[in-house]
Amino acid sequence: MEIISRVSKGSKMDQVYIPKHRSGFSIGSYVVLKPLEKESAVEKPYFYNIGCIEPVKLHIITEIIKIIDKNYQNYENIIFAGSFLERGFNFNDVDLLLVSNTKQDVKYIKNIIEKNIGIKAHIILIDIKSLLEGLATDPLYQMMLSKCISKKRFIFNVKRKVLYKILDLQLLKSKILINNFDILNGVEKYYLTRNIIALYLYILNKKLSKEIVDKEIKKIFEISVKLIKQNMLNKKSFLNKYKKIYKKTFDKIMDSIQSDSK
């Protein structure tokens, strides 16, 4: 049994009043008095290219920030990104970057989040230097952080630096769709398609965001993102277009690598 009451001032001794009609705490029993922990106020997070977000998601973000505040020391920022921020509830977990120059185990925090909130958290622990390098050289980082919510304000004015050998390695991952079309589900096909289009636009020095990439997917493949996620695809037509954009991207990367080596 637990009763919350306040300490009152008495003439000789201060006292705590409890209800006379109660199911526990019989006369003469010993009890422990301790202060009720006050929740520290959580500052309003910063929104980047977020038009609106459901109140329940904002509550989840607030609770996750509280958990990290209590269980992780000396971090720089918390940045929420990914499908969790899209409208609706078509997400499996919460993606977030925990920016810190000190490394601590985040498995414990993941477990607390899942236990207390009932949702899995995909936490990427990253230091500031690596984050800035990723934003400068990795199109997927740029696309991910084009739409995000962060605990603290951040302004990363980084100059784009194209490292073609790194892009070539990323491009190889996109080949998974070509070789495994029949066993991949629609969501997996969408993410691989999104990644190769992001690479393609990045090489062309185009601005990146999820909306821009999705629009380009619809233009190139002549099909909506929704239908791709639902796996409603014409295999022959889709793969032909995918292979063409793969070759274009590959050729562009190879040409640039050769130019850089001269």
Tens of pLDDT, residue by residue over 232-248, are 999 999 999 999 999 99
Same domain (yes/no): 181, 245 = yes
Cα separation, 64 vs 70, in Å, equals: 10
Number of structural domains (the chain) is 2
* 229, part of any domain: yes
Query: Is 117 inside any structural domain?
Result: yes
Question: Are 51 and 144 in the same domain?
Answer: yes
Q: Which two tokens stand for residue 17?
A: 């009043």
Q: What was the pLDDT predicted at 87? A: 84
Same domain, 190 and 212: yes
Same domain, 104 and 170: no
Q: Are residues 180 and 119 in the same domain?
A: no
Domain that holds residue 115: 46-150
Last residue of a domain, one of 150, 185, 202: 150
180 and 112 in a common domain: no
Query: The CATH number of the domain where 66 resides is what?
Result: 3.30.460
Q: What is the pTM of this model?
A: 0.75
Q: Tell me the H-state helices in 3-154.
A: 55-71, 107-117, 128-137, 139-144
pLDDT (tens digit per residue) in 170-213: 888 899 999 999 999 999 999 999 999 999 999 888 989 999 99
